[in-house]
Amino acid sequence: MRLPTDQDLIRWQQQLEQFLAHFADTDLRRATARISDPAVHEAAAVYVTRPSKRLLGMAFLHTAHALHHQDDIRDDDLTAIAAALEIRHGAILLHDDIVDGDTIRGGRPTAHHALIPSFGDEARSAALFAGDVLAGLAPLPILRTALPQPLRVRLAELFQHTTALVAAGQAEQLHLDACQDPGRVTEADILRIHAGQFAPYLLCSLHLAGALAELDDAGLDRITEAGIPLCQGFQVQNDVAGFRELARVQELGEQTSSALTLANTSDLARRRRTALVRAALDRLPSDQCARMLAYLNGGDDDLTAIVDLIEQSKAADCCAGLILELHAQSRERITADTHLPVDVRTALHATFRYMTALYDPTSHESRLYLEARPDLETLTSR
């Protein structure tokens, strides 16, 4: 297996960016042409062309090239498959922003916020339909590849099945937040949600690469089994990063509403049951734990005080240990799974290391993103 060079990674990212920009100006523009206000196209296009490290697309390209597909499949087709993953991710993020009420993503207004001047009170509904447009178009790049027809069908089926799994996982997250007593939600409950919410569409990148390598469904299931802890770790990492950003902004002395906007309304502001919250509840004395529970149940609105409690509990440090443990589980599962071919296990190990590096903004792999996007001066959103 030949590991990609820095120039390989930069080239793949640039080809992916070019594909996405072309998609926004062609397929997406045609799909929204009947809408009299061009703001809908622009609001949706931002989610496709936004500055991003392209974790999903790049993970696919990393795995696919590691499995030696470059010799028998066109680079253009691999780029198209990676683009489909990123287009769908854009649709998911657009819908997430509506559900969460976020007004800013990566320094730009979210779709439902950007559409207020054109749609007024119907801006959220218009944005929802814009997300549906992206989701509907997302499989097209796969279907248009020059791959053999049976393979195209299999890739499209895997892709669409994952879209349904992610939607179901998002609904399950809402059910946990709305219906479960936060004091009774366990770490296992939270990780179970992560396994069905975030993991499916991240693992889809690996499944599509595995399908190109002619792995059967049992082989793809083994990739899922190995990859779920890694994805759970990434989700916990996202939760901690959102909390730290919220704490940083509040430390600047901003008003709560401003802090929430700048921090993209962290999950704590939404009173979600996260691993970070669970770790804090397990470590706070009874009186402080009671205040945390009151906040999570909607009976306390002092977010600044809750941030302070979590800081005092050292829950973020505990979650850092959980992340390392989950990542180690994935590595161990790959190593121990002798049913997967050696070249597949080797490729997965390499891709897992690469994805972990992308989650670290100080890593060499992460900084290559800036070389791929010389138009950007600083890293923005993932």
Where do the domains of the chain lie, and which CATH numbers do they carry?
A: 1-146+362-382 (1.10.600.10), 148-340 (1.10.600.10)
The C-alpha R_g of the chain, in whole angstroms, comes to 21
Specify the residue for token string 């901690």: 240
239's CB contacts (< 8 A; 6+ apart) are 267, 274, 275, 276, 319
Q: Are strands 104-105 and 108-109 parallel, antiparallel or unpaired?
A: antiparallel
Specify the residue for token string 């680079």: 75
Could you count the other beta carbons within 10 Å of the beta carbon of residue 212? 22
Model confidence at 80, pLDDT cuts 50, 70, 90, reads very high
Handedness of CA 31, 33, 34, 38 (dihedral sign): positive
Model confidence at 263, pLDDT cuts 50, 70, 90, reads very low
361 and 379 Cβ atoms separated by less than 8 Å: yes
Rounded average pLDDT over 137-155: 97
80 and 137 Cβ atoms separated by less than 8 Å: no
The reported pLDDT for the residue numbered 253 is 65
Strand partners, 105: 108
106 three-class SS: coil
Total-model pTM:
0.92
Model confidence at 69, pLDDT cuts 50, 70, 90, reads low
Could you count the other beta carbons within 10 Å of the beta carbon of residue 382? 17
The reported pLDDT for the residue numbered 255 is 53
Model confidence at 258, pLDDT cuts 50, 70, 90, reads very low
Residue 187 clears pLDDT 50, i.e. is over it: yes
Cα dihedral 167, 169, 175, 178, rounded to 10, equals -90
Closest CA to 272 of 170, 360, 199: 170
